[in-house]
Structure 1
Amino acid sequence: MTELPGFERPNKTIELNTEEEDRPKKKSSKKGGGFQCMNLSYNVLKGITKRGYKQPTPIQRKTIPLIMEGRDVVAMARTGSGKTAAFLIPMFEKLKMRSAKAGARALILSPTRELALQTLRFIKELGRFVGLKASVILGGDSMDEQFSAIHGNPDIIVATPGRFLHICVEMDLKLSSIDYVVFDEADRLFEMGLGEQLTEIVGRLPDTRQTVLFSATLPKVLVEFAKAGLTDPILIRLDVESKLPTELQCWYFTVRPEEKLAALLVLLKSHIDKKQQTVVFAATKHHVEYLHAVLDHMGISNTYIYSNLDPSARKIHAAKFSTGKVKVLIVTDVAARGIDIPQLDNVINYNFPAKSKLFVHRVGRCARAGRSGVAYSLVAPDEYAFLLDLHLFLGRPLSIATPTNRNGEVGRIPQSLIEEQLASLITLHDTHSDLVHLRKGSENGYLQYLKSRPGASSDSNRRIKEMPFSNCSVHPLLKSLGEKSEDIRENILDQMKNYRPHGTIFEICGKNKSQEYQIMKQKRSFHKEKIQSHHQLVKQKQEEIETFSNLTERKCSLPSSDTADIDSTFLEVVMPKKRRMESIYKKNKRQKVKDENYIPYAPSDQHTEEGYAVNNFQKEASKAQLDLVGDSEEGLRMNRHVKMWDRKKKKMVAVPDARIGKIRTESGAWIPATYKSNRYAEWKEKTKIDQEEMDDNDEEEAQSKPDTPRGKAHTHWARHNEKMKQKQRKTELKSKDQILKARLIAEKKQQRQKKGKKGKGKRVKKY
C-alpha cells in the first residue's frame, strides 16, 4: 500500500526535528528545502522572490505541501513565524488564474480590521504576478462600496466576521463558489465572542471546501470547532518548545504606581534610541489618551489606537507609525495580535497584562522574522504575582537584581532619574488643566479595569511574599545612566537593609550585670540549636528564591488532559522532536524518576495549561452562586433585571425572551435581526444594477441564440423592414465616428436649405 507524499498512516504522530532546521546546514549535492522545491508555478515564485523571501520558515515548510495536497490543516506556531505567507502561497497556487464570472473562490476571516488590511497588503505584494482580484469587507466602511465590491466578483475576500455576515444576510449570499477558507488567529476570533457568526458563515459554505485554521494557541473551543467544521484535519504544532523568540530580550522594572509615568519618560527619553520605533501597551483607552497628551507636551512625537476610535482615524494613525513619521505608538490590546510592523524595535508594557498568553502576543510584535527586539515591562506591586505566573507559563528562571546578584532581569530605575521626571510632570500638570482631567479619567478607568481583571494564581500570590522585590537594586541596563553618588547611596541603603544586630536591645543597651541582660543570655543559650537551624533555613530559602530553581524544574510538555480530544479530532499530529527538550533537562533526569503508581496532586503542565486556557471550569464554577436577595449593588441590579414591573398588569412580570429581536437562519443559529436592514435592496434600486444585469443577459442570449429559418427574410420588403427594426433597436450611445458623421450630414443639410432659400429670393416675376 503506497502512502501519500508527506503523510504517514492515520492516527500516528509525525515527529519533525526542528532543531536541525534552526542550525545552518552544510552545502550538499541534494536539493535544498527552499520554495523552488515545492512545485510552485513561475508567477507565484516570482512574487515570493520579489517580496524578499529566500528560505521558508518551519511553519511554512510543514504547512504549504499539506495545503497544496488539499488537506484540511490546523497550524500552530508562535507570532512572527510567517503564518500569513503559509496560507497565502498555496492559495495562489490553488486559484492561479483570474475568473471574472465564477464569484469569490477564497475567503479569509480575520479578528481585527488592522490584521485584515495587513493580509490584503500581503496578497497584493506576494500575488502581484498572479493577477487575482482581492476585496476587503470591514466594519465601519461604507456598505454601498462593499455591495459593489461583491458584484465585481473578486477572487479573494478578506473580511471580519461581523460585517461579512451582515453582507451575507443582506445580499442573501450562498457562497457556493468558495473553495478555500482561512481562519486567521482563530483563537482570537472565539475570544472576541464571534463563535455565533462563524457558525453561521460556515453553514453557508459548501461541504467540498478546503479549510485552513491558523492559531497561536489551541483552546478546547477551537478543538470542538475543528471537529465540527473540518474533514480529517491535520494538526501541525510547532509551538511546544519555545513560546517567545530567542532574539527577544525581556526586562522588568519594579515601580510604584504613582511613578509609572515618570518611569516611562525615563525609558523614552534617556534609554531608548529616538530613531527606534516603540509600541506602548496601556490598560484602557483613558490611559492611552492621557499618555498621548503628556508625551505631546513633553515633545515626544506619538500617535495612538484604541477600539472606540473612528476606523478612518485608526487607519491614519497606523499609517503614520508604519511609515516612520512617528516613532511611538500608544495602543490597547486591540493591536496586540496579528499586526506586523517590520521595523518595530521595542515594546513597553505600561500596564502588565493579567494573562500570560496576552504578554506573549504583546511582545510578539517585535523580534519577528529573525530581527532582534526588546520588551520592557513596568511592574507595580499589585502585578508581581502576574510576573511569576508568566515565568511559570514560559518555564524560565526569574532572576532579581539584588546586592548579591547584580545581573538580573528584574530591577528598579535610579531614583534620581525618577525624581527628575516627576518634578517636570508636576509643573506640567500645574500649567495645563486638561492633563489633570485626563489623569483623573485614567485613574477611574483603572479602577473599573481592576474589577474585570482576573486574579493571579494562589501559588504565585504565596511566592511573592518570599521573593526579594523590596530588596531590589538598580537594573543593570540603567546603571550607566545613574550618577556615582547614586551608587554610593544605593550601597549605604543596602547595608542598612541587610544589617542585623547580634543581640537584642536588652543585650546591647543594658549593663552586663543587669537582670535583663542575664535573662536574655540564658534564653539565647537555651534556644541555641533552634536559632542556628532557623538561620540555615533562611539562607537556604534565599538561595532558592534568587535562582528561582524550583520553577525551572517543571517541564512544559503537551497537554495531557486534552490528548483524547486531539486524537479524536485530528487525523495526524505534526510535532517537533523531544530530543532537544530531553537534552535541556538531562541533568535532573535521575531526580524525576518516580514510582509508576504515584499520582501527583497537580499535572506537570499545570501552569502551561492555565496560560493557554480561555474558559477555566474551576474558575467559572467558583463564581457560580444563587443569590435570593442581592447583598451588593451588582446583585441588586441583577435581581431587578430578572423581573420587571408591568404598568398595565400592575405586577412583576418575567423578563422577555432573549431571542426577541433575533432571527433564525438556515443553519439554525440565532443572529440579531438588524443584520437584515433592507439596505441592499435600496442600493440596487439606486444604482439600477438589476436592469444592467438584465440587459447584459439579454445581449448574451441574443448573441448565443441561433437564427431560426422562420425568422429569415426572403423578400425585398421583409429585408427592408428588418433593417428598419434593427435601426430602431440601436442604443442611444454612439461612437466617436458616428457622432462626427452625423454632424457632417447635418451641416450639409443646413447648407442645402440655405442655398434653396437664397435662390427663391432672386427669382423675377414674368408678365
Structure 2
Amino acid sequence: MTFADLKIDQDMVDALATKGIVEPFPIQEQTIPMGLAGQDIIGQAKTGTGKTLGFGLPLLQELGIDPAPGVQALVVVPTRELCVQVAEDLTLAASNRSTTVAAIYGGKAYEGQVEQIKAGAQVIVGTPGRLLDLASQRMLSLKDIKVMVLDEADKMLDLGFLADIEKLFAQTPATRHTMLFSATMPGPIVALARRFMNKPIHIRATDPNEGLTQKNIKHVVYRAHSLDKDEVIARILQAEGRGKTVVFTRTKRAAAKLVEELNDRGFNAAAVHGDLNQDQRERAMAAFKAGKKDILIATDVAARGIDVNDVTHVINHTIPDDHDTYLHRAGRTGRAGKTGIAVTFVDWDDMHKWSLINKALEMGIPEPMETYSSSPHLFTDLDIPEGSKGRLKTAGPPRVREPQAASGSRDGGRGGQRSGGDRNGGGDRSGGGQRPARSNSSGSAPAAAPAADGTARPPRSRNRTRTRRPSTPAAE
C-alpha cells in the first residue's frame, strides 16, 4: 500500500517521495482514512512508528492546497524539541502547496514567531506555555481553528500541562476536528478525550503477539559500577556497525560531565539538557541529525524530540524512573522499521526501580548481569572488537588537572595577592611600586635568598612574628 492508495493528494505523495517516504506504517494506514473523513481519533502506537504523518497528512489535506491566510490548525506538543521536529515533518509534506507551518515554543524570541503568525501561517505547532502566552497577549487567535491535534498526550500529563490544554481547548470552536495521539493512554488522558472530543474512535496500531517493548530493538541490561560506566560506554561506542547513538543521563550535571569526558577520549559528542539555552540545544540537535556529531548526550527533556531514523544505539547511563520513560528512551532507536540496541546500566541502589520496570514490561531480566569494562560478555553481547579500549587512538593523553595552590601558603600571604602587588604581597594599596624592605630584629636588611636558577631573589617585604612558642628574654 502507498499513500496514494490512502487517498492522499498527489502533491503530498510527491513531497514525501523526495525523502524516500513511500509506504505508510500501520498507525498511518488505520488513522489516515478516518482522519480524511473528519472522524475524531485517539491514536495509540509505540514511539517511532509514524504518528506524526498519521495526523499531519489528514490535517493538511483538510485545509486544502491553497488555504486562506490565518491560523486554522493547531498541533500541541509537550517539548521544544518535538515542536521543531513535528513542524519540520509537516513543512516537508506541505512543500508543494502554499500552506505555511510555524513552530511556536519557549526559549526563543517572540518577535520572529509573532511575525510568522502575522504573515498568515495556517498551521501552528506549539508548546502549551508559549501558545497561552501569545493568546493572552492577543497575538494569537484560535477562534478559526478547524483541526486540533494533541501529540504525545501522556507526556503532557507528566509535565503538568493538563490545565493548559483545557484552556487551549476552551479557545477553539466546539465544531473543530480533534485528534489525540500518544504512546500510552493513562486515565486522565482518556477523561480529557471524552470531555473535548466528539465520539472519538480509539485506534491501537499494535501486533497482538508483540510485547510491550518493540520487537525490533535488542534490550541489554547490565548491573554496572558508577565509576566504570564511562569506560564501558566508550567501549560500546566502538561496537561493529554502530551509527548515531543517544546516551540518556538523569541529571544535567551528569550530561555535561559525560560529554566532556567522551570528547576528551576522542569521540564526537554533543549534549542537550536544561542548562543550555535554546539556541545551543538546537545547534546540538542539528549537528546530530546532520551527522557532524554521532553521539548525543541528553536528559529526558529531549527524549520525545529526537526523531532520527538512523540511531542504532540508545544507552541509559542511569536507569529511568518508570517503564513509560524507559519505552520512550528506547524508542529513539529502531525507528521507521529499522533495528536498534538499547543498553541500560542499573546501579546497585536502583535495583528496586529495575524490578518494577522489568515486571511492567515483562522483559524477563530480573537480575541484570554484573558487568565491568573488562567483562568478556560485554564484547560478545554488543559486537565490540577484542582489545578495544576506552580511548580512541587519535585522542591525546588524558587531561591532567592543574594542582591548586594551597590557601594560606607562605608566599600567598592572607589568601592571595593584593591588587597591584607583586607575588610576595609587596605592592602598595594604590598599585604603584614596591614598599621598602623592612629591617629584621638586628636592624640589618634580610639577606637575599638564592633562587632556583642561582640568581638572587629580592628580599621579602615583610617579616613575621612566630607564635608557636612563648618568647624568652634571650630572644628579645
TM above 0.5, one fold? yes
Aligned equivalents of 1:272 and 1:247: distance in 2?
A: 18
Is the 2:49–2:336 Cα contact (8 Å) retained in structure 1? yes
Match of 1:431 among 370, 383, 401: 401
Greater helix content:
1
Tell me the number of residue pairs that the alignment of Structure 1 and Structure 2 aligns. Answer: 388
Deviations 1:150-187 (A, max 9, x none): 11121111111100110011016442211000111011
1:195 maps onto 2:162 in alignment: yes
Aligned equivalents of 1:36 and 1:421: distance in 2?
A: 50
Aligned equivalents of 2:360 and 2:257: distance in 1?
A: 32
Please name the residue that 1:135 is paired with. 102
Match of 1:242 among 195, 206, 211: 211
Q: CA deviation at 1:94?
A: 0.6
1:345 maps onto 2:312 in alignment: yes
Please name the residue that 2:10 is paired with. 42
Aligned equivalents of 2:98 and 2:162: distance in 1?
A: 33
Q: CA deviation at 1:64?
A: 0.8
- What SS is found at the alignment partner of 1:182? strand
- What SS is found at the alignment partner of 1:171? coil
Q: 1:412 to 1:46 in 2, by over 3 A?
A: same
Match of 1:219 among 181, 186, 190: 186
Deviations 1:24-44 (A, max 9, x none): xxxxxxxxx432332232222
Q: CA deviation at 1:203?
A: 0.7
1:309 maps onto 2:276 in alignment: yes
Aligned equivalents of 2:34 and 2:27: distance in 1?
A: 11
> Within 5 Å, which residues of 2 pair with 1:105-504?
105-171=72-138, 173-239=140-206, 241-269=210-238, 271=239, 276-398=243-365, 410=369, 412-413=371-372, 415=374, 428=398, 430-431=400-401
Q: CA deviation at 1:86?
A: 0.4
Is the 2:235–2:389 Cα contact (8 Å) retained in structure 1? no
Unaligned 5+ runs, structure 2: 379-387, 392-396, 405-476
Aligned equivalents of 1:294 and 1:189: distance in 2?
A: 33
| AA in 1 matched with 2:189 | L
Is the 2:228–2:372 Cα contact (8 Å) retained in structure 1? no
Is the 1:44–1:92 Cα contact (8 Å) retained in structure 2? no
Aligned equivalents of 1:234 and 1:114: distance in 2?
A: 29
Aligned equivalents of 2:6 and 2:258: distance in 1?
A: 49
Aligned equivalents of 2:139 and 2:4: distance in 1?
A: 42
Runs of 4+ off more than 6 Å: 416-420
1:66 maps onto 2:34 in alignment: yes
- What SS is found at the alignment partner of 2:21? coil
Q: CA deviation at 1:131?
A: 2.3
TM-score with structure 1 length normalisation?
Answer: 0.48
Is the 1:92–1:130 Cα contact (8 Å) retained in structure 2? no
- What SS is found at the alignment partner of 2:202? strand
Please name the residue that 2:51 is paired with. 83
Is the 1:98–1:155 Cα contact (8 Å) retained in structure 2? no
Is the 2:154–2:189 Cα contact (8 Å) retained in structure 1? yes
Is the 1:344–1:365 Cα contact (8 Å) retained in structure 2? yes
Is the 2:83–2:305 Cα contact (8 Å) retained in structure 1? no
Instruction: Tell which deviates more after alignment, 73-82 or 169-178.
Output: 169-178
Q: 1:327 to 1:232 in 2, by over 3 A?
A: same
| AA in 1 matched with 2:22 | K
Aligned equivalents of 2:402 and 2:261: distance in 1?
A: 10
**CA RMSD between the two structures:** 2.5
| AA in 2 matched with 1:431 | R
Aligned equivalents of 1:202 and 1:433: distance in 2?
A: 59
Please name the residue that 2:410 is paired with. none
Instruction: Tell which deviates more after alignment, 240-249 or 361-370.
Output: 240-249
Aligned equivalents of 1:148 and 1:35: distance in 2?
A: 34
Q: CA deviation at 1:410?
A: 3.7
Aligned equivalents of 2:403 and 2:215: distance in 1?
A: 45
Is the 2:117–2:140 Cα contact (8 Å) retained in structure 1? no
Deviations 1:499-537 (A, max 9, x none): xxxxxxxxxxxxxxxxxxxxxxxxxxxxxxxxxxxxxxx
Is the 1:119–1:158 Cα contact (8 Å) retained in structure 2? yes
Q: 1:428 to 1:150 in 2, by over 3 A?
A: same
Q: 1:97 to 1:414 in 2, by over 3 A?
A: closer
Please name the residue that 2:63 is paired with. 95
Is the 2:80–2:305 Cα contact (8 Å) retained in structure 1? no
- What SS is found at the alignment partner of 1:136? strand
Q: 1:89 to 1:433 in 2, by over 3 A?
A: farther
| AA in 2 matched with 1:260 | K
- Of the two, which has the highest radius of gyration? 1
Q: 1:167 to 1:396 in 2, by over 3 A?
A: same
Q: CA deviation at 1:415?
A: 3.6
> Within 5 Å, which residues of 2 pair with 1:611-626?
none
Aligned equivalents of 2:18 and 2:152: distance in 1?
A: 26
Q: CA deviation at 1:225?
A: 0.7
- What SS is found at the alignment partner of 1:431? coil
| AA in 2 matched with 1:37 | D
| AA in 2 matched with 1:82 | G
1:53 maps onto 2:12 in alignment: no
| AA in 1 matched with 2:128 | P
Q: 1:89 to 1:385 in 2, by over 3 A?
A: same
